């Protein structure tokens, strides 16, 4: 009996997500691209963002910034489904070949930008309607940089700020600060089909 081959890609809410077995991903790895800051795969918190946005379509979605993008599937979904111009930001340049491969599979273009959270100024954030981020607060030392990034995004007038996480304690620390300062809402979110995922999304509506 032959073994079942792993899928090359999976679909979720209209977006195509390559797996580690996809030829494009395998080719990138053979070329020596190995992300060092956890950008080594598609993280399920991105699915929470996609599912939430699919149900709650934002009024303003012309320009999106996907912070700590990794393979960038949340931003790619925004480009493909909402017709947004998307800038994908990550501190690790090694993620961008994976981002470009994922964007190509979905026949969209996403603008890459190498930057740490601290380097995204109010002026950099001002052109965007939506700030998305998934799995960006996995260490205690990231709490202050993420919170300060959100503060700058609010001052810049970013209308929708959504950050998803599988409910780690540093994420909840950011949420508590944002609830006090920005009236952030914490939404429990679960996806059962076609891919299971669960966690929480912090939502700030910056009217």
Q: So what's the pLDDT on residue 3?
A: 55
Domains of the chain by range and CATH? 9-205 (3.40.50.150)
User: In 3D, which of 33, 165, 169 has the Cα closest to residue 101?
Assistant: 33
Q: What is the pLDDT of residues 38-95, one digit of tens each?
A: 545 677 899 999 999 999 999 878 999 999 999 999 999 999 999 999 999 999 999 9
Q: So what's the pLDDT on residue 64?
A: 98
Q: So what's the pLDDT on residue 33?
A: 73
Q: Is the pTM of this model over 0.85?
A: yes
* Range 111-116, long-range pairs (CB < 8 A, 24+ positions): 111/85, 111/86, 111/87, 112/87, 112/88, 113/87, 113/88, 113/89, 114/89, 114/90, 115/89, 115/90, 115/91, 116/91, 116/145
User: In 3D, which of 121, 122, 133, 141 has the Cα closest to residue 202?
Assistant: 133
Confidence at 133, pLDDT banded by 50, 70, 90: very high
Q: What is the pLDDT of residues 2-35, one digit of tens each?
A: 455 668 899 999 999 998 889 998 999 888 877 7
What tokens were used for 155?
A: 């001052």
Is pLDDT above 70 for 167? yes
CA 203 to CA 11: how far, in whole Å? 25
Q: So what's the pLDDT on residue 20?
A: 86
Q: So what's the pLDDT on residue 176?
A: 98
CA 148 to CA 116: how far, in whole Å? 12
User: In 3D, which of 58, 57, 76, 75 has the Cα closest to residue 66?
Assistant: 75
DSSP 139: S
Q: What is the mean pLDDT of residues 171-189?
A: 98
CA 32 to CA 27: how far, in whole Å? 9
Q: So what's the pLDDT on residue 177?
A: 98
What tokens were used for 94?
A: 């090694």
């Amino acid at each position: 009996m032959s073994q079942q081959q792993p899928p090359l890609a999976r679909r979720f809410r209209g977006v195509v997500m390559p797996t580690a077995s996809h030829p494009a991903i395998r080719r990138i790895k053979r070329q020596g691209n190995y992300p060092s800051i956890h950008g080594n795969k598609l993280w399920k918190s991105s699915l929470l963002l996609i599912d939430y946005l699919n149900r709650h379509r934002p009024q303003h979605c012309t320009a999106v910034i996907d912070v700590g993008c990794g393979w960038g599937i949340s931003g790619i979904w925004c480009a493909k489904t909402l017709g947004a111009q998307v800038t994908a930001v990550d501190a690790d340049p090694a993620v961008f070949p994976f981002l470009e491969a994922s964007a190509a599979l979905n026949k969209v273009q996403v603008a890459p930008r190498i930057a740490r959270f601290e380097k995204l100024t109010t002026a950099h954030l001002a052109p965007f309607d939506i700030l998305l981020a998934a799995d960006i607060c996995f260490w205690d030392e990231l709490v202050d940089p993420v919170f300060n990034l959100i503060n700058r995004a609010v001052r810049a007038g970013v209308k929708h700020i959504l950050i998803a996480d599988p409910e780690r304690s540093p994420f909840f620390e950011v949420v508590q600060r944002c609830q006090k300062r920005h009236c952030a809402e914490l939404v429990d979110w679960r996806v059962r089909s076609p891919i299971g995922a669960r966690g929480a999304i912090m939502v700030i509506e910056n009217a």
